[in-house]
Structures are given as structure tokens and as C-alpha cells.
Amino acid sequence: MERLEKILSLSDPVDTMADIGTDHGFVPYTFLKEKKANFAIATDISAPSLEKAKALCSSWGSEKIQCRLGDGLAPLKPGECQAIVIAGMGGNLIYTILQEGMEIAKSCKYLILQPMQAVDFLRENLEDLGFYIEKEDMAYERGKYYHIFKVFYNPGLCKENQDPYRAFLKDKSPIKKAWIDYEIKRLENLSSFIKKAQDPSRQEEKLEEVEKKLLKLREWLDEFC
């Protein structure tokens, strides 16, 4: 599972980690297995999901893992964990969870965020909340690309470095280049689809947005070559 491996590889060892929206519990299970944490808190808003995590993680015992039901960061107490993972949810939901749980999120050494959609929204708004994007990596699994952010709370650093794409462009890895190629093709197809539409003038705003993104991606591609 490349996505999980990348989440792990971005994570420094901590005493206690929390996985928000744990579902099957793979994330905390693997943190404990790989000795990235001594103790894990697995949370989910859904009781049936949390039951899956309880079943998978039962072999670790209560001295290693606790499963808690609840919304976002509400099941956590400030200072209780040093790392938080929020993976496999939409970027808007991740943003809301952080906004509503600022006190908890601020107190962590780092957070790993892996949005499924609204990636640009999350990236462009994280630093407004004061979460500095230290690293951005990508994973490719079952025909899909995933962006993974490592962030920590430091509003001063966010103000000094106001480019949310800085971390993406910093490490020019082959997977990022492959994603840029893929995204250019996808947007080129979308652009020609819009141009062929019955009333293209109604789609002007959308076309402008697609062309703007394409311009930026083509510039990046030159940098990655």
C-alpha cells in the first residue's frame, strides 16, 4: 500500500499518535507495528467503522491502543498526542476538522493530511489557519494519485513564506512529474470538451480556469525535466 507507506515515511517517531477517521484501523496498526508510535488513539465518527478498527487492533491490547468514537478532533485532549493523521477524507472536511479543533491541532509536533478531493483548496487555505506545509509527497495506488502533506502550526513561518506550492515544488520526485503529465492530459481533454460544447460562451469562466491551471502545470513540467 504505497499511500500508507508514504504516510509512514513522512512521520517521525512519537510517543502518542492519533488517527482521525480511522475506519479499518490500518494507520494506527501500522504506526505501532513500525514503531513510529508507542501508543495510538484511533477515532471515527462512525461506530461500525470503529468496530473494524477495534477488531484489527485488538491484538495490540489496551496498553497500546484506544479506540474513541467522535467527530473530528473532539475525542482528543490538548497535549495528548504529538502527531495526528487525517487521511482519506475530502480536503474541505479536513479543513473544517482542523478549524474546529485548533487547540488540539496546534499542540502537535506535526500532522499528516491526505485529502481525497479539494487538494488545492486545502493546500491554499492551510497556511491561513497557521499550518505551515513542511513537506508534500505523493503516492500512486490502484490507478489514483494521492497528495500527502506534513504540516505543523507556525503562523509566523506561514507569513514569511506565502507560497502554498513551495513544498510541492521543493522535492522534484518522479511521481510528481508523472502526476503533472497526467494532470496536463486530463485538463487538455477537459479544455477540448468545453470548446466543443453546444454553447461554449456559457463555459468561458470554466475554460479560463482550466487554461490557467494548464499554464501553471506546463511551467512546472519544464522545472521537473
Ligand X SMILES: C[S@@+](CC[C@H](N)C(=O)[O-])C[C@H]1O[C@@H](n2cnc3c(N)ncnc32)[C@H](O)[C@@H]1O
Q: What is the Cα–Cα distance from 49 to 1, expressed in whole angstroms?
A: 20
72 binds ligand X (CB under 6 A): yes
Q: For residue 73, give the 3-state DSSP assignment.
A: coil
Q: Which of residues 114-133 bind ligand X (CB under 6 A)?
A: none
10 binds ligand X (CB under 6 A): no
> 115-142 b/e with 16+ CB inside 10 Å = b?
beebbeebbebbbebbbbbbebbbbeee
The piece of 40-48, 159-167, 180-188, 217-225 that touches ligand X (CB under 6 A) is 40-48
Taking contact as CB under 6 A, which single stretch among the options 83-91, 123-131, 146-154, 190-198 is the one that binds ligand X? 83-91
The minimum distance between CB 219 and ligand X, in angstroms, equals: 31
Cell 467522535 locates to 70
C-alpha cell at 177: 512529474
Which one of residues 10, 17, 27, 151 is an interface residue with ligand X (CB under 6 A)?
Answer: 27
CB 138 within 8 A of CB 114: no
Under rule CB under 6 A, residue 102 binds ligand X: no
Q: Is 49 in the site for ligand X (CB under 6 A)?
A: yes
Contacts of 111 (CB under 8 A, 6+ apart): 83, 84, 85, 86, 98, 105, 131, 150, 151, 152
Choose, by CB under 6 A, the member of 11, 16, 22, 30 that binds ligand X.
22
Question: Which stretch in 87-95, 105-113, 145-153, 159-167 sits in contact with ligand X by CB under 6 A?
Answer: 87-95
Q: Considering the rule CB under 6 A, would residue 17 count as an interface residue with ligand X?
A: no
What the block records as the C-alpha cell of 173 is: 520526485
Contacts with ligand X by CB under 6 A lie at 20-23, 26-27, 43-46, 49, 71-72, 87-89, 93, 97
